[in-house]
Amino acid sequence: MRPDSRGAIGVFDSGVGGLTVLKALMRRLPGESTLYLGDTARVPYGTKSPEVVTLYSIKNAEFLLERGIKLLVVACNTASSVALPELEAHLRVPVLGVIAPGARAAAAKSRSGKIGVIGTPGTIRSGAYQRELQAARPDVQVSARACPMFVPLAEEGWVTGDVPRLVAREYLAPLVATGVDTLVLGCTHYPLLRDVIAEVMGPGVALVDSAEATAEAVAAVLASKGALEAESRAAEHRYFVTDVPERFMDVGAKFLGQPLSGAEHVDVSFG
Ligand code: DGL
């Protein structure tokens, strides 16, 4: 490991999805170096139990901590929704998930207090967004819905046209019916389907991307600790994956919005 990895921001996700969070971080904090771990051998997390997702999350965090990160971003909504307390209790660096920043942004944006949340089955089942929204604004009425098919659609690049539109109508019709004025995109993959989701929800519904809200929260934590790097600094971005890198590199470029500079295959062992 090169010594310049020390002091980077560590970011992990179940696979490529967290690259939407990394993209927001790179835009908001251009001087910060990052280490990204995609647990591509064990993806998806969204359909797994909280216990298993928590175990994987601890291993991912340990891998990044060993490389000297100064802050950890849990860039996966599912992992953030179930593993954050455990991670916060055990790690000696600040840990941020994507749920609380996204919920706070949605609570601030909504006029009526009627807020929709979409995510993986695990995220929705955990009730984490529902709890954070209630904490941020006690008058909210939250409608939540799992949209598991959005994940493979986004990875296939099938983000426009009849197929995603039909799937989106099926999933989102109950949320449209409840009259939400704000919808949280509570999964790393959903920003890629933003246009089709916006079309189905209608022009009166604001979409909140947890990734952008999380980048803002990371900037605030680093600033409060005096740990921000100068924006002019040449940042370095490194990628690690637990399965072979080819598909991650290929699909990941769509999520990051630019080609990836290379990814290293690593073994995050459970021994
Ligand atoms: N990254 C996950 C999330 O944001 C979606 C993919 C998965 O199920 O692992 O919840």
| Tens place of pLDDT per residue across the chain (271 aa) | 343 456 999 999 999 999 999 999 999 999 999 999 999 999 999 999 999 999 999 999 999 999 999 999 999 999 999 999 999 998 999 999 999 999 999 999 999 999 999 999 999 999 999 999 999 999 999 999 999 999 999 999 999 999 999 999 999 999 999 999 999 999 999 999 999 999 999 999 999 999 999 999 999 999 999 999 988 889 999 999 999 999 999 999 999 999 998 999 999 876 5
Query: Whose CA is closest to atom 7 on ligand 1?
Result: 44
Q: Tokens 């950890």: give the residue.
A: 72
Which atom of ligand 1 lies nearest, measured to the CA of 79? 10
How far apart, in whole angstroms, are the C-alpha atoms of residue 66 and residue 73?
15
* Ligand 1 neighbours by CB, cut-off 6 Å: 13-14, 17, 43-46, 76-78, 120, 123, 151, 187-189
Q: Nearest CA to 117 among 109, 108, 128, 261? A: 128
Which residues belong to the active site? 76, 187
Phi and psi of 252, rounded to 5°? -60, -30
Cα(3) to ligand 1 centroid in Å equals 31
CB 164 within 8 A of CB 171: no
Compute CA distances 168 → 59, 145, 181, 196, 201, whole Å.
34, 11, 17, 7, 9
Query: Whose CA is closest to atom 1 on ligand 1?
Result: 76
Residue in 120, 147, 153, 190 to alter for ligand 1 test, most ligand atoms within 8 A of Cβ: 120
How far apart, in whole angstroms, are the C-alpha atoms of residue 269 and residue 125?
28
Compute CA distances 87 → 55, 217, 252, whole Å.
10, 17, 26
pTM equals: 0.95
Cα(244) to ligand 1 centroid in Å equals 19
Full set of structural domains in the chain with CATH: 9-97+212-265 (3.40.50.1860), 99-210 (3.40.50.1860)
